[in-house]
A and B are shown apart, each in its own frame.
Chain A
Amino acid sequence: MNGLRGLAWLLGLQSVGELLARGLSLPFPGPVIGMLLMVIALRYAPVRVPVAACASFLLSHLSLLFVPVGVGVMTHLGLLSQFGVRMLVAIVVSTWVGLAVTALVLHRLRSAPDA
Chain B
Amino acid sequence: MPKFVELWVYLSATPLFGLTATVVVYVLAQALYAKLGQAPWANPVLWTVIAIAGGLLATGVSYPTYFAGAQFIHFLLGPAVVALAWPLWERRVELSQRWRGLLLAALAGGTASAVSALALGWALGLPSDVVMSLAPKSVTAPVAMGIADKIGGIPALAAVFAVVTGMVGALSGKYLFQMLKIPVNAAGWMARGFALGTAAHGIGAARALQVNADAGAYAGLALGLQVVLASLLMPLIFRLF
Query: B-contacting residues of A (Cβ < 8 Å)?
Result: 7, 10-11, 13-14, 17, 27-32, 34-36, 38-39, 41-42, 48, 51-52, 54-56, 58-60, 62-76, 79, 83, 86-107, 109-111
Contacts and interface: CB of A to CB of B under 8 A. Distances in A.
A86 B121 CA distance: 8
A36 B172 CA distance: 31
Contacts of A10: 79, 82-83
Nearest to A64: B26
Given A66-B141, A93-B116, A106-B194, A86 B156 contact: no
B135 to A, nearest CB: 10
- Of A72, A75, A103, which is in contact with the most chain B CB atoms at under 10 Å from its CB? A103
B237 to A, nearest CB: 11
B87 to A, nearest CB: 7
Given A39-B85, A91-B164, 7 more contacts: A14-B82, A76-B157, A83-B127, A91-B137, A94-B137, A95-B138, A99-B169
A35 B85 contact: yes
B236 A72 contact: no
Interface residues of B, number: 105
A72 B109 contact: no
B102 A71 contact: no
B132 to A, nearest CB: 12
B76 A29 contact: no
A66 B231 contact: no
B55 to A, nearest CB: 9
A5 B102 CA distance: 32
Given A17-B82, A83-B126, A106-B102, A27 B76 contact: no
